[in-house]
Structure 1
Amino acid sequence: MKLYIKNMVCIRCIMAVRAELVKLRVNSIVVELGKAECKENLTQSQLEILNKGLLECGLELIEDKRLKIIKDVKSAIDELINSSEDNQKINLSEYISKKMNCNYPYVSKLFSKSEGISIEKYYIQERVEVVKELHINNGLTLTEISYRLKYSSVSHLSNQFKVVTGVNASHFKDITTNSKLIPSKV
């Protein structure tokens, strides 16, 4: 049985889901971000108990099929962004269609209606979030980041960064670095 879980973002979430399933004496569990898979089907009462435990951890079972599709699209995009394979020339719509094994126009329309943003814009925003993290926290140069995230060029990365954030990447780094140096008021 596949279970889809909302708000999973880190290893602690995976551990929390696994712990809740173990409490229910569910065996053969595979837990990943956004989903859990177990060999046996859970009863309705087990699902209710599981959801109650997950809610206490800030997580929630997703029961609506459309929400599962949205979650799968987001997971596929995260996987594409963080993939070490050479996906530079891959078409996003083609990738999503293959990954989800479904009709892209349907998925795209569903995603846009639910999230208020197109899949393409969501993909760009997620890439820019990773750029911010790598630029600020890891101290990588824009050239290193553009190579790592498979941008066609540094200028392409810079243009997308400015469109999404409103400032260029180096100015963004200066702003965030300087704000860390200013002590907060007590």
Structure 2
Amino acid sequence: MNTLRLLFLFCFLTISKKCYAQDLLLKDLDNDTIKDEILFDRKNTQIICKLSSQNSLPIKSKKLDDLNDTSGIELTKNGFQFYNHSMRSGYYCQFRYNTAQNKIELIGMSRYSDGNAAQDGSGESSVNLLTHQYIGEWIRVDLKLKKRIKIPTIKKSYTTNKVYLQQFSVKQPDDFVEFCDNIRNNMVY
């Protein structure tokens, strides 16, 4: 009986922690030598930054809908990134502090896909939002030849308005995925 209670308690605490956990990262984002807080609030599905140069007042993203359990945040060389993985695809959104604007800016996105069971539509792409350069590496399946064909590297311009953390939602990565899919699906090879 005690074993069953312990198992129940362990499951309850694990589920509670997952539902209400906050991922916390510490990094000096605003270059004042004081570490800032970057939180991923799983309960409210928001990214929250507290910059020491701005009195640690919370700067929040919009609510991030349709996330998977395997979403979160991690540090990068110059900032941090938010990620959202599913079973066969996922994306990353990179953020860095913009010293001129005193804001946290979305500076890049990348995504990957394993495609379908035949790997049609598999590959990866990225966009640098500072240079507006998109690069995609994709594979298509030729049904007549019954083989996978690597599409030549795609390089295109990707223009969008600047996005700061307060405006960030899943709209930006969703728009990027749609852009990638449209280009890939309309390629003549």
Q: Tell me the TM-score normalised to structure 2 length.
A: 0.24
Which has the larger strand fraction?
A: 2
Which has the larger helix fraction?
A: 1
